[in-house]
Amino acid sequence: MITLQTVYILAGLMFCAYAFFNLRDKSNARRYVNALFWGIYGITFLFGGELPHFVTGCMAILLAVIAGTGKLGKGKTDNDQPEMVEKREAGAKRFGNKLFIPALLIPVVTLIGTLTLKYTPLVEAKNVTLISLVIGTLVAFIAALIMLRDSPVKAIKAGGQTMDTVGWAAILPQMLAALGALFALAGVGGVVSELVKNIIPLGSPLAIVVAYTFGMALFTMIMGNGFAAFPVMTAGIGLPLIVNQLGGNPAIMGAIGMLSGFCGTLMTPMAANFNIVPAALLELQDKNGVIKAQWKTGVLLLLVNTAFMYLFVFRF
């Protein structure tokens, strides 16, 4: 059976490969720091279940220290070589829109796996979606190698170069999700619940729904990640007020609540891996250019999600 641990092992091996390629990259003056960073991150995936929590916590702190000191760097990539650029452009003209096939295979295989594999003994049922996503990624990887007739080692090396460009922001979602869980355990959700009870009319379903969806977006903007906001806002408003007090559907509440949080992701520089890193990769003059281009969409989607929550969460 394919379990979540299998996924973690694959991720750990990938990040350790990035560390290995960094060690061999003499064009990167900070290759040892990069190798240490990705190596530690890979070890947390490979052995996180066996290591004492204290050790894992110290490793997480070390990752934060490395990122905070700004010591990560990057070496030369294939994009720095004119002949490689010409080769890539020629390949793009040759394959055209077929280049989208590997990318489209990921959601297609993920959807098929989510709907079918849960009825088989092949995968761990409670994590079928995540496992299907990994299977879809592997299928896309193999398809790309066959289509482009390229080397898997070269592909993994290029992936490592991309991760070096993104840097510490690549691990930000996982860190913020863990921070959200810590906030929930610390009772922040209870504090939020008491504040809401003192401010909004508890007899108004619309007011409570608005508090939850807009609270998810606002807390996501502060934390930079919807996964960090979800446990706090759901423990404070979603479960006690929408589900327990008003009898709302928890599945609808959770799904639309997360989407509301993602609206906040579109509007905050704290979501660095989504909004600041792309601006850097695209070499935009305005580092907030991505946010300025999409905040209106975020507000519109938040209003739509709030309407959907109010219309459906109490009726199904």
* pLDDT tens sequence for the chain (316 residues): 788 899 999 999 999 999 999 998 888 888 899 999 999 999 999 998 889 999 999 999 999 899 888 888 887 776 667 777 777 788 788 888 888 999 999 999 999 999 999 888 888 888 899 999 999 999 999 999 998 888 899 899 888 888 888 788 788 777 777 777 787 788 877 787 788 778 888 788 999 999 999 999 998 998 888 888 888 889 889 999 999 999 999 999 999 999 999 999 999 888 877 887 777 777 788 888 889 999 999 999 999 999 999 999 998 7
Query: What one-character DSSP code corresponds to residue 146?
Result: H
Task: Give the chain's radius of gyration (CA, Å).
Answer: 22
Rounded Cα distance between 45 and 60, Å, is 12
Query: What one-character DSSP code corresponds to residue 167?
Result: G
Single out the residue of 271, 267, 288, 269 nearest to residue 217, CA to CA. Answer: 267
- Largest separation between any pair of C-alpha atoms in the chain: 68
Per-residue tokens: 73: 């760097």
What global pTM score does this model have?
A: 0.74
Rounded Cα distance between 102 and 110, Å, is 13
Residue 78 is predicted with a pLDDT of: 66
Residue reference for tokens 């460009």: 165
Rounded Cα distance between 237 and 226, Å, is 15
Per-residue tokens: 273: 């891996």
Residue 210 is predicted with a pLDDT of: 94
**CA dist 28 → 96, 162, 175 (Å):** 33, 14, 26
Per-residue tokens: 2: 């394919």
Residue reference for tokens 């959700």: 189
Residue 80 is predicted with a pLDDT of: 64
Would you give the distance in Å from CA 208 to the centre of its chain?
28
Instruction: Find residue 123's DSSP bridge partners.
Output: 2
